[in-house]
């Protein structure tokens, strides 16, 4: 199947189950390897989104909030400072204790000695495509428990 | 006396600026860009051992749409701040990585990069993106077609400082 805009739309409607049985049969008869890959990728992305939503709903426990409290000087706050131009508060002895606790918590949760695995912390500033569609996907960094998702720039070229 | 102090302060400031300028000029990033070919297939994922550090990502959706991951090439680039390097992808598309800048702050070392992938026949840029990444962090670009599969570029850079 040659992929132009109408065909893209048709494939998307096929994926969404919006075609009549006759139309479905027509699409299936003309599926190319590229179409199959695209359908597989659409399925995976849908699964990824569903998993992310499920995980979000299932994630209601006290540990992340507690960890966030402990890790007051951690990466998430640094990221917020980057975005909003906030400055760190002056250090005090209690901040030292909190930092020590945060370090212990991070060591417990992140376990860097298990990792030869790259971290991320990517902010996309601009993204332009011509003759292609690009989507940005943030993948959970589990099981390495990184506090930043890994960014994937997914480019699908038109024919 | 006041004039002499003022002149000394200006001279000191100039020296500090020159020193800072010299330090900035020496900023260099080393970038590692493995170029992976992802192919469809059956059974368990086959991942080239040379890209073991990417295994965590490649065994999870959306990468489970493919089963065979082979390292085709690995670009090791040394970039001066503001400098670029161009390398050819296996599908004959030139890719250019630019080290735009580097920021150092409390708890962070961040690198600003620009990745451009061109389509020579159609004379346009398939992708032109600028992003900021933690030092040693990785960003994945997926989807450029090649030989019944797609290419995955994993961009990761570190500065010498």
pLDDT score at A127: 94
A22: pLDDT confidence band, cut at 50, 70 and 90? confident
pLDDT score at B127: 95
- Number of Cβ within 10 Å of residue A138's Cβ equals 14
For residue range B94-145, list pLDDT tens digits in order: 999 999 998 887 777 889 999 999 999 989 999 999 999 988 889 999 989 9
- CA-based nearest residue to B63, from B76, B75, B51, B50: B51
Q: Is the pLDDT of residue A27 over 70?
A: yes
**Contact with chain B for residue A151, Cβ under 8 A:** yes
B79: pLDDT confidence band, cut at 50, 70 and 90? very high
- CA-based nearest residue to A37, from B91, B151, B47: B151
Residues of A in contact with B138 (CB under 8 A): 118-120, 150
Tell me the angle at which helices A33-58 and A5-15 cross, rounded to the nearest 10 degrees: 50
B85: pLDDT confidence band, cut at 50, 70 and 90? very high
Tokens of B135: 């030092």
Q: Give the max Cα distance, chain B.
A: 84
For residue range A76-96, list pLDDT tens digits in order: 444 433 333 223 233 333 444
pLDDT score at B139: 93
Residues of A in contact with B134 (CB under 8 A): 119-122, 148
The residues, ordered by sequence, that sit 6+ positions from B59 with a Cβ below 8 Å of its Cβ are B45, B47
* CB-defined contacts A:B, below 8 A: 148
| CA pair distance A100, A105, nearest whole angstrom | 9
Write down the residue that tokens 């426990």 correspond to: A61
Nearest to B61 among A48, A78, A124 (CB): A48
Q: Give the max Cα distance, chain A.
A: 73
Which residues from B are below 8 Å from A when comparing CB atoms?
40, 52-53, 56-57, 60-65, 105-108, 110, 112, 117, 119, 122, 124-134, 136-145, 148-150, 156
| CA pair distance A89, B92, nearest whole angstrom | 51
Residues of B in contact with A53 (CB under 8 A): none
Contact B108 A124 (CB under 8 A): no
Residues of chain A with pLDDT > 90, as a percent, come to 4
Least trusted range by pLDDT, from B12-21, B81-90, B116-125: B12-21
Query: How far is A80 from chain B, CA to nearest CA, in Å?
Result: 12
For residue range B41-76, list pLDDT tens digits in order: 877 889 999 999 899 889 888 888 899 999 999 999
- CA-based nearest residue to A107, from A70, A159, A155: A70
| CA pair distance B67, B154, nearest whole angstrom | 17
Q: Is the pLDDT of residue A134 over 80?
A: yes
**Contact with chain B for residue A122, Cβ under 8 A:** yes
Burial of A120 (0-12, 13-18, 19+ CB in 10 A): buried
A68: pLDDT confidence band, cut at 50, 70 and 90? low
User: Average model confidence (pLDDT) for chain A?
Assistant: 61
- Number of Cβ within 10 Å of residue B24's Cβ equals 12
Q: Which residues are paired to B12 by β-bridges? A: none
Parallel, antiparallel, or unpaired for β B108-119 and B28-39? unpaired
Q: Which helix (H) or strand (E) holds B37?
A: strand B28-39
- CA-based nearest residue to A70, from A101, A111, A109, A112: A101
B149: pLDDT confidence band, cut at 50, 70 and 90? very high
Q: Is the pLDDT of residue A63 over 90?
A: no
Contact criterion met (CB below 8 Å) for A48 and B62: yes
| CA pair distance A120, A140, nearest whole angstrom | 11
Contact B130 A125 (CB under 8 A): yes
Contact B61 A73 (CB under 8 A): no
pLDDT score at B115: 97
ipTM: 0.81
Residues of B in contact with A140 (CB under 8 A): 60
Contact A120 B137 (CB under 8 A): yes
Q: Is the pLDDT of residue A48 over 80?
A: no
| CA pair distance B30, B50, nearest whole angstrom | 19
Contact A48 B138 (CB under 8 A): no
pLDDT score at A28: 74
| CA pair distance A133, A37, nearest whole angstrom | 15
Q: Is the pLDDT of residue B20 over 60?
A: no
| CA pair distance A66, A131, nearest whole angstrom | 46
Give CA angle at A133 (A152, A15), nearest 5°: 90
pLDDT score at A29: 77
Contact criterion met (CB below 8 Å) for A150 and B138: yes
Q: Is residue A26 classed as helix, strand or coil in its secondary structure?
A: helix
Contact A125 B143 (CB under 8 A): no
Least trusted range by pLDDT, from A84-93, B21-30, B77-86, B119-128: A84-93
Contact criterion met (CB below 8 Å) for B135 and A105: no
Least trusted range by pLDDT, from A5-9, A137-141, B1-5, B131-135: B1-5
pLDDT score at A45: 64
Q: Is the pLDDT of residue B160 over 90?
A: no
- CA-based nearest residue to A139, from B154, B115, B39: B154
- Number of Cβ within 10 Å of residue B121's Cβ equals 8
């Amino acid at each position: 199947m040659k992929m132009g805009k109408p065909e893209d739309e048709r494939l998307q409607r096929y994926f969404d189950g919006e075609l009549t049985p006759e139309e479905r049969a027509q699409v299936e008869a003309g599926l190319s390897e590229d179409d199959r890959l695209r359908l597989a990728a659409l399925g995976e992305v849908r699964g990824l989104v569903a998993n992310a939503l499920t995980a979000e709903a299932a994630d209601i426990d006290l540990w992340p909030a507690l960890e966030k409290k402990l890790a007051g000087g951690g990466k998430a706050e640094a990221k917020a400072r980057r975005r909003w131009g906030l400055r760190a508060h002056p250090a005090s002895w209690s901040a030292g204790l909190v930092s020590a606790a945060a370090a212990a918590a991070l060591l417990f949760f992140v376990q860097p000695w298990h990792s030869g695995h790259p971290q991320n912390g990517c902010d996309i500033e601009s993204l332009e495509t011509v003759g292609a569609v690009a989507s940005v996907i943030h993948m959970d960094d589990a099981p390495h428990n990184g506090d930043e998702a890994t960014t994937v720039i997914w480019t699908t070229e038109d024919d | 006396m006041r004039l002499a102090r003022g002149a000394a302060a200006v001279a000191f400031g100039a020296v500090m600026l020159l020193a800072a300028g010299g330090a900035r000029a020496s900023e260099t990033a080393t970038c590692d860009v493995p170029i992976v070919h992802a192919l469809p297939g059956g059974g368990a994922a086959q991942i080239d051992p040379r890209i073991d550090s990417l295994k965590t990502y490649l065994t999870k959706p959306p990468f489970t749409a493919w089963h065979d991951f082979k390292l085709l090439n690995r670009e090791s680039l040394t970039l001066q701040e503001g400098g670029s390097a161009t390398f050819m992808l296996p599908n004959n598309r030139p890719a250019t990585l630019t080290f735009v800048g580097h920021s150092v702050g409390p708890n962070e070392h961040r690198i600003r990069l620009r990745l451009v992938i061109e389509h020579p026949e159609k004379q346009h840029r398939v992708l032109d993106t600028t992003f900021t990444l933690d030092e040693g962090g990785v960003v994945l670009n997926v989807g450029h077609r090649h030989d019944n599969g797609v290419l995955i570029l994993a961009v990761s850079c570190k500065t010498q400082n």
